Amino acid sequence: MTSQHVPKTAASEFIEIAKTVAAALLLALVLRVIFFQPFTIPSESMQPALLKGDYIIVSKYDYGWSAHSIPFSPPLFRGRILGKAPQRGDVVVFHLPRDKSVTYIKRLIGLPGDRIRVAGGQVFVNGRATPRRPLGMIEDPGAPWVRVMQYAEPKPNGRSYVTFDREPGHPGDDTEVFVVPRGHYFTMGDNRDNSLDSRWPQELGVGYVPAQNLVGKARFIMLSWKGGASIFKPWTWVMRFDASRAFHRLD
């Protein structure tokens, strides 16, 4: 008994290729919705932890899933599935309350029910000052003509992160007392004098962030490029690549 090879037609080959591409796209979508999503940092508001040009990975499963876990945030349901509360000090990615098409990344400072106030540039949570240890003055990486003081601030897990603060008297250095509503969070940028965040009302900054707007937790910097890199200038992909920041875990 002999077997005969039936040649594939162009149509059948096209269908097989289309099926393979569709399966790959579906797998990528599932991974993006359920597990991880990449983001590029567009501003200096989270310096020094995150620099403009960092390419970060955000985990979706830390806080559960909402409609904002899905690309384009379709209004399929409200609330979160298997929702878990973030921890104070987490670096969170969320959709801007006033414009769901805009994604922000900030440090989570206040939990529901917390009373948050900033006085003289220092954060107070429920009447207690957040300790901060001065680390010395440096030049702001995003504005070399500006000098900033570095402060180490602790997280509940014992680790710490570094914030930037310019001289006193900048907008946001002295605020009213904010009472974080139920189901919302209060966020700030680590570059305290160069960040529009929850210290400003929703119409101007961020305001309070609804829990369902959380996309996920920023986990690590996968890749990074220095200033001057451009997708339209392929040679800068290598020349401006910053290997020192690649695969750096975020505190």
Q: Which of 52, 60, 106, 217 is catalytic?
A: 106
Concerning whether 217 is annotated as a catalytic residue, the answer is no
Distances in whole angstroms, Cα of residue 24 to Cα of each of 29, 39, 69, 192? 9, 20, 19, 42
Region for residue 228 given its phi and psi (left: phi exceeds 0; alpha: psi -120 to 50; beta: otherwise): left
Alpha carbons 73 and 57: distance in angstroms, whole number: 19
**236 in Cβ contact with 228 (< 8 Å):** yes
Would you give the DSSP letter of residue 31? H
Active site residue 45: yes
The whole-angstrom separation of Cα 132 and Cα 162 is: 9
- From the list 200, 188, 210, 173, the residue with the least C-alpha distance to 107 is 188
DSSP codes of every residue in 195-209: --STTS-TTTS--SE
Q: Which helix (H) or strand (E) holds 10?
A: helix 10-34
Go through the chain and tell me how many residues it has.
Answer: 251
Q: How far is CA 59 from the centre of its chain?
A: 10
Which of 96, 100, 101, 61 has its CA nearest to residue 81?
A: 61
Residue 198 to residue 98: CA distance in whole angstroms: 12
As annotated, the active-site residues are 45, 106
